[in-house]
Amino acid sequence: MRSINDRPPEDLTARARIRDAALAEFAERGFKGATMKAVADAAGVSVGLVQHHFGSKEGLRDACDVHVRDTMLGAAGQVQDGADLTPEFIRGMYEASELSVRYLARALVEGSPVAAAMFDEGAEAAERFLTENWPEDFPPEEAKVRESAAVMAAMHLGTIVLHEHLSRRFGIDALRRTNLARFSMAMVDVYAHLGEWIASGPGSQVRQAVTDHHTKEHPHD
């Protein structure tokens, strides 16, 4: 998949250049810190042209939200290829435009409609993944499924939010698509070994202790 980052600037319309400049500005400085002038300067246009296309900083953010949601969910859908596998869904998000991923990382911290939408999409994909693979353990529509799926989505999207710490520990830029394989492999290894540990003696005892505590606190669940 070819991202917007791979295109030379002359291939983009003025509106797209402004939007991409805004994605980068919002990602770096946040909505409050970003300015229309900084966006205009980065896009090589006047503030008046930014206002002509988007009206205000709020309008510019709305356009960025729509673009990021369409770009990342489109990429995730292509990677899924009809299967509701949450790890694949999240990988698709990572493989979208780097500008979009960096924008989402900031949005997830600051809170925005697109952050909520992406989290909900990931959680819904996780619900389908759990109920289709383990229907007896995760019956559809039960609170347990929604809660487990929400935690799963948070675990995966947390790697985007905490990208600076991941980058520091790995010694590479965590949000560059070229580094995706290393993070994917690390996540797969963790899941595989945690599954083995939970099934072992110590892990089984921890799981039982958590189950007993939950039963005590919520006897009617």
CATH number of the domain within which 108 lies: 1.10.357.10
- Predicted structure pTM score: 0.71
44 and 145 inside one domain = yes
Its domain, for residue 143, covers 4-175
213 and 165 inside one domain = no
145 and 201 inside one domain = no
DSSP 117-132: HHHHHHHHHHHHHHHH
Phi, psi of 2 (to 5 degrees): -95, 125
160 and 190 inside one domain = no
Beta carbons of 96 and 75 less than 8 angstroms apart:
yes
Q: What's the pLDDT at 151?
A: 93
Q: What tens digit of pLDDT does each residue of 146-204 get?
A: 999 999 889 888 888 899 999 999 999 988 878 877 877 888 888 888 878 877 776 66
**What's the rounded Cα separation, in Å, for the pair 91 and 96?**
9
32 and 130 inside one domain = yes
pLDDT higher than 90, residue 33? yes
Beta carbons of 152 and 126 less than 8 angstroms apart:
yes
All residues at 6 or more sequence positions from 117 whose CB lies less than 8 Å from its CB, including other chains: 69
36 and 125 inside one domain = yes
Beta carbons of 140 and 130 less than 8 angstroms apart:
no
Total structural domains in the chain? 2
- In angstroms, the Cα distances linking 187 to 83, 91, 110, 194 are 19, 11, 25, 11
Confidence band of 10 (pLDDT split at 50, 70, 90): very low
Q: Which pair of structure tokens corresponds to residue 70? A: 């369409």
Confidence band of 206 (pLDDT split at 50, 70, 90): low
